[in-house]
Amino acid sequence: MKSSPRQSLGVLVLVVVAVAASACGGGESTSTDDATAVPADTDVAMTAEEPAGPTSTEAAAASSAMASPTATGAASGAAVDCGGAVGVMGPFTGDAASIGQEQLNWATFALDRFNTDNGTDFTLAEGDTQLDPAQATTVAQQFISDQEIIGVVGPAGSQEVEAIGPIFDGALAFVSPSATSTDLTDGSIEGFFRVVPRDDVQGPTDAEYMISELDAGNVLIIDDQTSYSTGLADSVAQTLQDSDVTVDTDSVNQDQTDFSSLVSAIGDDVDVVFLPWQIAANAQVFAQQMTEQGKQATIFGSDGLFSPDDFTADGAYVSSFAPDIRGIPEDEELVTAYTEEYGEFGTFGPPVYAAMQAVLTAATTTCEEGEPSRDAVLAALPETSIDNSILGGTLTFDSSGDIEGADFFIFQIQDGEYTLVQ
């Protein structure tokens, strides 16, 4: 093994070059220090065939979203002398940074439009949670002690909502644009609202689609042993069994790299394989191994797999808690304006816009002498109603803080593009 120094140097250089190339290889890894960075999934070309959601046909809708605060009867159109800060919590850096950056861009976009349209003077306070509950509690403590902040949009994850609930403790309203865990709105967390549907809507929606559209008679459900996954698996299994569909279950773990033996065991009579997973790259491997072994069953993924960058199995279905707003005619102007300023976007951004709209509207309508109070915003939110919301239809909250009439949406992957099918 004796080698001359020159040889060793050559090998070392080769390796350093390879490692460096590997580091740069990701290319699209999000630059986290640039607030206006385009989210990683810029090549998402989602095409929608039909308008999503209960779209209102009212013609007035051209300037759909940021119309004036019509909620509880504030003067609309005229400039309102009102200001204050909205706290925005999200994973702006870390593993979920591509989601967080999209959320932050949409929050800034919403704020600018609202201020322009209403002559208000609101500002944004950023709080980076990195999708970590511990980090979220630190941010929450900063927000609660900053008297400028009159309401909060975020945080992104259900586990973070649980962590900061006791800190806000009904003193500060917070509206999450993406937390879907069912328990959050059971009354245990005061002052919490969300603009996305609950997970107990997702299970039945997915199951019914499998029955009615995919004619599934035999479904294999594979969970990944996390609480998100097993909960959703149970909910889908329940709905399927109520309709006499045969259900088999199995599970994997998130670190697994090889699913080929599990795939081998999938019988020819299985119509649909349901994967309530959170790691899209795993589902991609699973799908490839099904192709490799010539398995015909259709893959159906939960919202955790909604990732046009990492999961592109042709013909697979994926559900999502937000519609593709490019399919809503009333949103056309918004989509163009956003895309011009920030570039492409996925499904995590538009709900932030809706949440910002709700908080700002509640603040503006309760403004007294230019200053909305935290209590007034909290009291006004349940009464707030937004016509022609960006998510389609009228946005209102029910008594528990959930959005009324919220649906899950289903996409099919066709030639690498996510296409809205329901």
Partner 1 sequence: MSLFLQLLINGVTLGSVYALIALGYSMVYGILKLLNFAHGEVYMIGAFIGYGVLTAVGGPAAPVVPVWLLVIGMVVVAMLGSGVLGVIIERFAYRPLRNSPRIAPLISALGVSFFLQASALLLFTARIRSYDTTEFISLGTGVDIGPARISLVRLLAIGTAVTLMVALTVLVRQTKLGRAMRATAHDREAAAMMGVDVDRVIVATFFIGSALAGAAGVMVGLVFGRIFHLMGFVAGLKGFTAAVVGGIGNIPGAMLGGLLIGLGEALAAGYISSTFTDLIVFGLLIAVMLLRPRGLLGTPAVDKV
Q: Please tell me whether residue 415 binds partner 1 under the rule CB under 8 A.
A: no
Given the rule CB under 8 A, which of 47-55, 244-252, 318-326, 389-397 is the region that contacts partner 1? 244-252
Rule CB under 8 A: say whether 264 interacts with partner 1.
yes
User: DSSP secondary structure string, 196-257?
Assistant: S--HHHHHHHHHHHHHHTT--SEEEEEE-SSHHHHHHHHHHHHHHHHTT-EEEEEE--TT--
Q: How far apart are the first and last CA of the chain?
A: 64
Segment contacting partner 1 (CB under 8 A): 61-69, 142-150, 151-159, 245-253? Answer: 245-253
By CB under 8 A, the residues from 278 to 337 that bind partner 1 are 279, 281-282, 284-285, 288, 291-294, 310
Residue 188 burial by CB count (10 A; 0-12/13-18/19+): exposed, middle or buried?
Answer: exposed
Residue 132, C-beta contacts closer than 8 angstroms, at least 6 positions apart: 94, 160
Binding flag, residue 12, partner 1 (CB under 8 A) = yes
Comparing CB distances to partner 1, the nearer of 23 and 59 is: 23
Task: Tokens 């020159």: give the residue.
Answer: 6
Is residue 5 within the footprint of partner 1 (CB under 8 A)?
no
134 contacts partner 1 (rule: CB under 8 A): no
Q: Which of residues 137-156 bind partner 1 (CB under 8 A)?
A: none
**Residue 142, CA distances (Å) to 172, 193, 324 in order:** 12, 20, 34
Residues 6+ apart with CB under 8 A from 87: 125, 127, 143, 146, 149, 151, 152, 153, 154
193 versus 348: smaller Cβ distance to partner 1? 348
Q: Is there binding between residue 14 and partner 1 (CB under 8 A)?
A: yes
Burial 79-108 (b: 16+ CB within 10 A, else e): ebebbbbbbbbbbbbeebbbbbbbbbbbbb
Q: Binder to partner 1 among 4, 5, 26, 369 (CB under 8 A)?
A: 26
Binding test (CB under 8 A) with partner 1, winner from 56, 115, 246, 260 = 260
In terms of CB distance, is 280 or 406 closer to partner 1?
280
Question: Which of 5, 23, 78, 415 touches partner 1 (CB under 8 A)?
Answer: 23
4 is a contact residue toward partner 1 (CB under 8 A): no
From the CB of 415, what's the least distance to partner 1, in Å? Answer: 15
Nearest distance from residue 420's CB to partner 1, in Å?
A: 26
CA pair distance 221, 13, nearest whole angstrom: 48
Binding stretches for partner 1 (CB under 8 A)? 1-2, 8, 11-12, 14-15, 17-26, 29, 94-95, 222, 225, 250-253, 255, 257-262, 264-265, 279, 281-282, 284-285, 288, 291-294, 310
